[in-house]
Amino acid sequence: MRYYPVFLDLRGRPCIVIGGDDVAETRVRALLEAGARVTVCSAHLTAGLVARAETHEIVHHAREYRPGDLDGAALAYVVPDDEALGAAVAAEAEREGVWVNVMDKPRYCSVITPALVHRGPVTVAVSTGGASPAVAKRVREEIERTVGAEYGVAATILGGIRALVMEREADAGARATLFGSLLDSGLLEALRARDEAGIDALLGKVVGADVSLTMLGLSPLPDDDGNTTS
Three-state helix/strand/coil letters over 31-77:
HHHCCCEEEEECCCCCHHHHHHHHCCCEEEECCCCCCCCCCCCCEEE
Mean pLDDT of 25-41: 97
Domain that holds residue 161: 148-230
100 bridge partner residues: 76
Average pLDDT, the chain: 93
Q: Verify that 108 and 15 share a domain, yes or no.
A: yes
Nearest in space to 185 (alpha carbons), one of 168, 174, 199: 199
Q: Is the CB of residue 78 less than 8 Å from the CB of residue 20?
A: no
How many domains are there within the chain?
2
Query: Average of pLDDT values for 85-94?
Result: 98
Judge whether 124 lies within some domain: no
In this structure, the answer to whether residues 6 and 100 fall within a common structural domain is: yes
In a domain, 142, yes or no: no
Same domain as 157, residue 89:
no
What average pLDDT score do residues 173-179 get? 95
Same domain for 101 and 162?
Answer: no
> Are 42 and 65 contacting, i.e. CB atoms less than 8 angstroms apart?
no
Question: What confidence score (pLDDT) does residue 229 get?
Answer: 38
- The predicted model gives 44-48 an average pLDDT of 98
CATH number at residue 21: 3.40.50.720
Give domain status of residue 214, yes or no.
yes
Residue 139 lies in a domain: no
Whether 130 maps to a domain, the answer reads no
- The answer on 73 and 11 residing in a single domain is yes
**Whether residue 163 is found in the same domain as residue 59:** no
pLDDT of residue 131: 86
Q: How far apart are CA 198 and CA 211, in angstroms?
A: 13
